[in-house]
Amino acid sequence: MKKILFLCTGNSARSQLAEALMRHMADDSYEVMSAGMSPETVDERVYTVLTQNGVNSDNLQSVSAESLHDQHFDVVITLCDKASNECGLFPESDALIHWDFKDPKPLEGAQGFVDTYEGLKAKIALFLMLNGEDQSDAVGPVELFKIMSDPLRLRILMLIEDEFALSVGDLTKALSVSQPKVSRHLALLRDAGILKDQREGLWVFYRLPENLPVWIHHILTTVRNGNPGLINNEKLKLSQIKDRKKPGFSQKN
């Protein structure tokens, strides 16, 4: 079970919302706690917003971060700059993350708490999506960005992400480069675990593997959607290949 700590100044608003939300959205593989550098009473608007959204607010209480300094947390997520500066309390944590949220307490009414709730909900959903599996054998972020820094490899990945599966011949024609050059880059991507090859008759197709970590999928999809014109010319060339072979296997194979 992974232990997660949300850390803030007063442990009275942001970190309480985060603790309750993470428990609500995550499964039993997470133990969630929150604490503050200078604990204060939990703001009543926390309970109001959580109740309105059907999130259990039982057993929320302010805790001093100092009282937890001897505990190991897999992830410590700070929610304000002051708490971020105090990460030294938990040097043995596997990951230290900072999410910057303005304190909603000075604002009148509950709208500031509603906005904080919605922002935390989006952050937690993304965190859970990207950390829901064992990624110990995956290529790391440094290696991934080195791979993507090459313009030709980046276009290969974008084309395959868009088309699901392509052959060496497809890529050679779409990219207007030699087959040996395309094959070298495909071999590098395959050896890094970012692509897999799959034979169908006389054809060999390259595709993203089924067990590719979600965070890598997310990066590729974000780059593709954030730069929709990146491979326009290549897509047009693919559409003009009259004898193009389409893979018969499904994306789940």
User: Phi-psi bin for 11: left (phi > 0), alpha (psi -120 to 50), beta?
Assistant: left
Structure tokens given for 230: 């990146």
Residue 87: active-site member: yes
Phi first, then psi: what are they for 196, rounded to 5°?
-130, 150
Sheet containing 95-98: give its strands across: 30-36, 2-8, 75-78, 95-98
Q: How far is CA 43 from CA 22, 62, 106, 148, 244, in A?
A: 18, 10, 11, 46, 63
Residue among 4, 8, 144, 157 flagged as catalytic: 8
Distance, CA of 26 to CA of 30 (rounded, Å): 7
Distance, CA of 119 to CA of 127 (rounded, Å): 12
Structure tokens given for 48: 């109001």
Residue among 42, 79, 80, 138 flagged as catalytic: 80
Residue among 25, 63, 87, 192 flagged as catalytic: 87
Residue 237: active-site member: no
Residue 94: active-site member: no
User: Annotated catalytic sites, by residue?
Assistant: 8, 80, 87
